[in-house]
């Protein structure tokens, strides 16, 4: 994984007390195809657009966590990520924001399960 460049945006997702960082610009075709298979053909861009229009449903949050964990080297499946992401859990401890990357920012989970 390359070092971030100036003005690169990183998504920071907090769920159930764990914060994950995801670089949207650093996905790859294999991961994108796997994600499309498990979501019935949805792309990450479509998920983000849906969230921007009406808020984030549990499977949408799980999508960002899935990508973040995969970028951090975790071979977890989408189903494993999505299982604990519920409407209830989103109401308790959830935040999503975009931050600007700095030289030493890594796209990994800040805390592990």
- Give residues with Cβ within 8 angstroms of 81, minimum separation 6: 62, 65, 66, 69
pLDDT of amino acid 2: 47
Give the C-alpha separation, 24 to 75, whole Å: 18
pLDDT of amino acid 80: 94
The rounded average pLDDT for each run of 10 residues, N- to C-terminus, in the chain (113 residues) is 59 92 86 85 85 84 91 92 93 84 55 52
pLDDT of amino acid 27: 84
pLDDT of amino acid 91: 86
- Rama region for 85: left / alpha / beta (φ>0; ψ in -120 to 50; rest): beta
């Amino acid at each position: 994984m390359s070092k971030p460049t100036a003005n690169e945006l990183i998504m920071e997702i907090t769920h159930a007390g764990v914060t994950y960082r995801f670089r949207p610009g650093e996905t790859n075709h294999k991961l994108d195809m796997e994600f499309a298979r498990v979501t019935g053909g949805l792309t990450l861009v479509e998920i983000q657009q849906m969230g921007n229009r009406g808020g984030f449903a549990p499977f949408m949050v799980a999508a960002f966590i899935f990508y973040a964990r995969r970028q951090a080297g975790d071979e977890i499946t989408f189903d494993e990520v999505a299982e604990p992401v519920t409407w209830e859990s989103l109401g308790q401890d959830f935040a999503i924001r975009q931050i600007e990357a700095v030289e030493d920012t890594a796209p990994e989970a800040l805390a592990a399960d």
